[in-house]
Structure 1
Amino acid sequence: MNPFNFTQPKDVEGVLSQLANGARPIAGGTNLLDLMKEGVMTPSQVVDINAIATAGLDRIEDAGDGGLRLGALARNADTAYHPLVRERYPLLSSAILAGASPQLRNMATNGGNLLQRTRCVYFYDAGVPCNKREPGTGCPAKHGVNRQHAILGASEHCIATHPSDMCVALRALDAVVHVRAKDGEREIPFGEFHRLPGERPELDSTLRPGELITHIALPDAARFVDHSAYIKVRERLSYAFALVSVAAALDLDGDTIRAARIALGGVAHKPWRIEEAERELEGRQAGEAAFTAAAERILQGARGWGQNDFKLPLAKNAIVQALMSATRGTAYARGEKE
């Protein structure tokens, strides 16, 4: 691990000043410390932001409009088990509990979850080329070990995937990320927060230098409470990243679909959502035929890279399964996990 300066400002202004000078923030440290130990990230200055939790960044609060405000420093476990999250956003609770281990969820923060980096084996190995780690060196995953890699939205420069479970649910729920810097605040719709690799795979998000995530806003999702499901297909049941995951939510009138939300994880550089496919479900009868058509629409253009070709039928089946589970009801889907 490279030498670095470590500071612990007591207020938000102190943190923002250091971020503006290039410092790297650390909260739970569940991803950053691993990257530093492997020499993948070598910040010269690390700023501990835990002390600014007193500014309310660790709170989970009613937004007053049916929505919820998730503090960036709230721990994943506290978020998943919070009564308001379980009551209003069971899809989010299920997704968080499907991720990592209890120990990691107790440490990891909401803001850090958004910023975790890919688990590509080439990205983590500082001794091999990687465009995400060192732009212009190449992407050996395309012709190498790529079982975990993207089937959608990839580029010639990178085929890595975003590893978060929580982010898949947040994308389905139309969350908004609130950030702050020395020169002001801004809001980023969740669908615009993470990037596809394109020609700049080293950039994971649209967060600007010097910006700090303060909280995540969730809109009212009452119409989706009764019919949601999070399906995660992985190599083993505990502590494994998704091969494919699906966050699905339905607003039903009897067996007629009024609205749908479908987001995928484990298949792209960001949580994947095709809103046109959701709109095409409106007015249709909930069932395998409609859900298969939606899955095919969502996966248009998908391709494998050899070892991950199996993800193509897997993703289609997972989408249908998640939507069928959501149709049967949220309590049914939650019971499968418990």
Structure 2
Amino acid sequence: MTMIRAEGLRKTYGDFPAVVGSDFAVEGGEIFGIVGPNGAGKTTTLKMLSGLVEPTDGVAEVAGYDAGDPEMRRNLGFLPEESPLYEDMTPRSYLRFFADLYDVPRSEARERTERTLDRLELEHRERRLGDMSKGMKRKVAIARSLVNDPDLLIYDEPASGLDPLTTNYVLEFTRELADRGKTVVFSAHNLYHVESVCDRIVIMNRGEIIARGTVPEIREEYGETTYHVFTTVPVAGSEPDPSAGSVPAETDRHRSVVPDMDAVEDVRERAAADGGEVVDIRTREQSLEDIFLDLASGATPAAGSERGRRRTASSTDGGSER
């Protein structure tokens, strides 16, 4: 089932185009990430989907309703990037207050509140919210988004500013929500957050979607793989093994960085001609962060293009080795 449909979604503020003609769909039960730098249009897009901001043009439908329809809002949990809480309340009283706003029956609200606080491992349920850490407050805000048991959750930078332990906890909990059948849409500028939990993503820059797909699909289409070939003798274009200074070696090694297996074979033949051999071959994939930076700057060449091959061949650093 398609949970969200956006077609030609556009928002301008005066002469400033915050979002320019976005088209995408989100299926029920998936985690969908909207990625981009600050000012890319992520928050504006989420607010249009939540009915908090009216589009200048285009269509935003959620579960068959126009975004902002009262019935849609009753089935939505929204978490803004900055979510100020009523600091004189406790977590327990705060969540029950919002459950009342959604007309959740009292007995059900009590059970749901305690179950959610248990799962989020929030122990100090009678402590003032104003006396709690940022991580604990974020957990309470996430719990608030669940008091009405919505099918759709829209989270704006859910792990922003959190310590690594709390960040991992929030991401794991997000994955758990999807496993329970919830649909989760969230924005992020941290690529690790996206890579670790999202089923599909769109990358935005300056209000436009510039890439979309699963993370492996984006890697395949826009990323680059280099082959690091280590030989016992130098060949044209090689350099001394950069790890030799920190890792003891029985023999000198030389590294050639090449773009494909044909070039690997060429290095092997040249080494053999000089009485040497290939002793190791490693592949190195461009990191998702580097792909994102290249896309945002317009520097990423088309997959398989001659420019891409030249660029890969000249790249000796960066990416993740495997």
Query: TM-score band, normalised by the shorter chain?
Result: under 0.3
Q: Higher Cα Rg: structure 1 or 2?
A: 2
Give the structure with the higher percent strand. 2
Q: TM (normalized to structure 1)?
A: 0.21
Give me the TM-score of the superposition, normalised by structure 2: 0.22
